[in-house]
């Protein structure tokens, strides 16, 4: 499988490490991954025979200073058009407007290359256009990592609940805010909790997209467009962030509840109501168990009723894992649920949840 990688940040570097560490296992499954180009914001390194992954990580750290395969100014767009490959893995930052990822994904699909992305922004701006372009060109656009990193969403719904009617989605979809709320529960102020989140690598210094609810709202738009097949925009989501939630958290603690930045899509006849807002959750709701930087989603179906799925989120390696799994799917005869998911039914004392999904790493 010849891969072009765009973006060598947290996820891109973790992906390279993961591919290198799992090389033998991947080969044993018949997946021989060769990375033929890597691009960052300033240039591209190319080797049609395959780049040495250790060398890429080292040279990126050193700023490519003496690496002859890296050409400054050679853009990702040129690389997509000129270098032969099976798939483009697009891992650039999510910025409003969708660029630069939008142009990269379009170009790759039009060049009949499969695309895997963890970047929400292009899908928020042009979900249906991009999916149609993929279909017209006979290739796949996979985006499991865009919504809640490695929590299985598209894979789960497409494999296990294809013919049920989805009525509602409720999720804790932002790791940063969930971590901050957890720190406030420990008695910290919002500002102290935010500082702790930045110190621990949970939040970036540019934290507004997270604490003001924009990042989870983007995820809702992707879910609404994909799972409910609607045409919705970011403006259709009612968004409230977590800057003023200290009092709410204290009140919730007194009444034995948890505060979560809850992302909700509710189907009302043929319309969708979408919101992101801090809400008090009863302790017997499985979403109340999604703590620290973890993420989880509860789906409500007409027939299957409630299905809850969550995953422990500790680092971008897990996002990279979801990307790697999508890469493998582009090369598999049939898209399928990964075999390392264990499904088991779980009963809580108050409610029944149809199934909990746990992901086990090898």
Catalytically active residues, by annotation: 219
Region of residue 38 (phi > 0: left; psi between -120 and 50: alpha; otherwise: beta): beta
Q: How far apart are the first and last CA of the chain?
A: 22
The nearer residue to ligand NAP, 47 or 185, going by C-beta atoms, is: 47
Choose the stretch contacting ligand NAP; rule: CB under 6 A; options: 117-125, 155-163, 191-199, 258-266.
117-125
Q: Are 194 and 203 in contact (CB under 8 A)?
A: yes
132 binds ligand NAP (CB under 6 A): no
Return the residue of 56, 124, 316, 321 that touches ligand NAP, per CB under 6 A.
316
Q: Total binding residues for ligand NAP by CB under 6 A? A: 24
Provide the token pair at 315: 């680092």
Provide the token pair at 93: 């930052």
Least distance to ligand NAP from the beta carbon of 30, Å?
27
Q: Environment class of residue 345 by beta-carbon count within 10 Å: exposed (0-12), middle (13-18) or buried (19+)?
A: exposed
Site track for ligand NAP across 140-179, x = CB under 6 A: -----x---x------------------------------
Q: Scanning residues 55 to 94, which ones bind ligand NAP (CB under 6 A)?
A: 76, 91-94
11 binds ligand NAP (CB under 6 A): yes
Q: Environment class of residue 326 by beta-carbon count within 10 Å: exposed (0-12), middle (13-18) or buried (19+)?
A: buried
The nearer residue to ligand NAP, 9 or 338, going by C-beta atoms, is: 9
Least distance to ligand NAP from the beta carbon of 241, Å?
17
Q: How far apart are CA 140 and CA 328, in angstroms?
A: 12
Provide the token pair at 254: 């007194």
Least distance to ligand NAP from the beta carbon of 246, Å?
27
Site track for ligand NAP across 343-362, x = CB under 6 A: --------------------
Return the residue of 6, 123, 180, 327 that touches ligand NAP, per CB under 6 A.
6
Cis peptide before 100 (omega within 30 of 0): yes
208 binds ligand NAP (CB under 6 A): no
DSSP state at residue 145: G
Q: How far apart are CA 245 and CA 262, in angstroms?
A: 13
Q: Are 265 and 274 in contact (CB under 8 A)?
A: yes
Q: Scanning residues 34 to 53, which ones bind ligand NAP (CB under 6 A)?
A: 39-42
Q: Are 277 and 213 in contact (CB under 8 A)?
A: yes
Which residue has tokens 């680092």? Answer: 315
The nearer residue to ligand NAP, 281 or 322, going by C-beta atoms, is: 322
List of residues contacting ligand NAP (CB under 6 A): 6-12, 39-42, 76, 91-94, 100, 118-120, 145, 149, 316, 319
């Amino acid at each position: 499988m010849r891969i072009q990688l765009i973006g060598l940040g947290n996820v891109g570097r973790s992906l390279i490490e993961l591919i290198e560490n799992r090389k033998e296992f991947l080969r044993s499954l018949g997946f021989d991954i060769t990375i033929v180009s890597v691009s960052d914001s300033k240039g591209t390194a190319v080797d049609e025979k395959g780049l040495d992954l250790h060398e890429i990580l080292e040279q990126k750290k050193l700023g490519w200073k003496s690496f002859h395969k890296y050409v400054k100014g050679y853009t990702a767009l040129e690389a997509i058009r000129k270098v032969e490959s099976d798939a483009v893995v697009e891992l650039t930052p999510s910025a409003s407007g969708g660029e630069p990822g939008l142009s990269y994904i379009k170009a790759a699909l039009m060049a009949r290359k499969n695309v895997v992305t963890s970047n929400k922004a292009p899908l928020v701006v042009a979900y249906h256009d991009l999916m149609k372009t993929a279909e017209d060109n006979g290739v796949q656009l996979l985006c499991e990592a865009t919504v809640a990193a490695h929590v299985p969403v598209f894979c789960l719904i497409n494999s296990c609940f294809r013919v049920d009617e989805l009525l509602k989605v409720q999720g804790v979809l932002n790791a940063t805010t969930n971590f901050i709320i957890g720190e406030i529960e420990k008695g910290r102020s919002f500002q102290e909790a935010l500082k702790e989140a930045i110190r621990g690598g949970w939040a970036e210094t540019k934290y507004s997209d997270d604490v003001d609810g924009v990042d989870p709202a983007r995820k809702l738009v992707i879910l609404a467009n994909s799972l409910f097949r609607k045409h919705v925009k970011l403006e259709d989501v009612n968004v409230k962030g977590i800057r003023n939630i200290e009092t709410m958290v204290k009140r919730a603690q007194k009444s034995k509840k948890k505060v979560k930045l809850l992302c909700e899509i509710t189907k009302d006849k043929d319309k969708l109501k979408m919101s992101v807002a801090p809400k008090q959750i009863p302790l017997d709701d499985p979403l109340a168990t999604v703590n620290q930087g973890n993420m989880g989603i509860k789906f409500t179906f007409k027939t299957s009723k409630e299905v809850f799925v969550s995953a422990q989120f500790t680092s971008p390696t897990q996002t990279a894992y979801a990307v790697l799994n999508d890469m493998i799917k582009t090369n598999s005869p049939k898209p399928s649920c990964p075999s390392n998911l264990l499904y088991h039914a779980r009963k809580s004392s108050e409610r029944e949840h149809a199934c909990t999904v746990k992901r086990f790493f090898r």
